[in-house]
Amino acid sequence: MIVFDLKCKDGHVFEAWFKDSTAFAAQAKARKVACPFCGSKKVAKAPMAPRLGSGAQEPVAATVSAAPPPPDPKTVEQVKFMKALGELRQHVEKNCDYVGPQFAEEARKIHYNETAPRNIYGEATAKEAKELHEEGVEFGAIPWPQTPDA
């Protein structure tokens, strides 16, 4: 068995185990390897440090499998969820104005018609969010997945 560092087209790096380099190549070509963060099936080997052993032979597992075990349903759902969050983040970033830590102030200005209505996103403290809620300002909190460049 060999572990490879893999990288998807979106820059996520993750590890995966394969019987050998040929097995990885066959599975990647058949698009059977998916990024656990975004679900992308366009993956390639990432640069990695070699594992140096003591020179002694390590025992090889005697199990033979025609196909990898089915993916854990929990993992599949996590991949779908993370992919959906990533798509939501892209949609928000494309269609809304980023106001950063001034989110609460800008949301109030829009709510009280002190400025033109527009879609915004940014950060607010728990206290600011509570105050906005108490004032009747409509907003939502979104778990914000990290991007590869963040």
84-99 pLDDT tens trace: 888 888 899 999 999 9
Chain center to CA of 116:
34
Q: How many CB atoms lie within 10 A of CB 44?
A: 12
pLDDT of residue 55: 55
Let me know: does 97 contact 120? Beta carbons within 8 Å. Answer: yes
Amino acid at position 12, single letter: H
pLDDT of residue 61: 44
Classify residue 19 by burial, with Cβ atoms within 10 Å: 0-12, 13-18, 19+: middle
Query: How far is the C-alpha of 3 from the C-alpha of 64, rounded, in Å?
Result: 17
Give me the pLDDT at residue 8, please: 87
Q: What is the pLDDT of residues 16-67, one digit of tens each?
A: 888 888 888 899 899 888 888 788 889 898 876 555 455 555 554 444 444 5
User: So where are the chain's domains?
Assistant: 1-49, 77-135
Q: Please, which pLDDT band fits residue 6 given cuts at 50, 70 and 90?
A: confident
- The whole-chain average pLDDT of the chain stands at 81
- Give the residue from 109, 108, 107 showing the smallest Cα distance to 96: 107
- Read off the tokens for 39: 């679900």
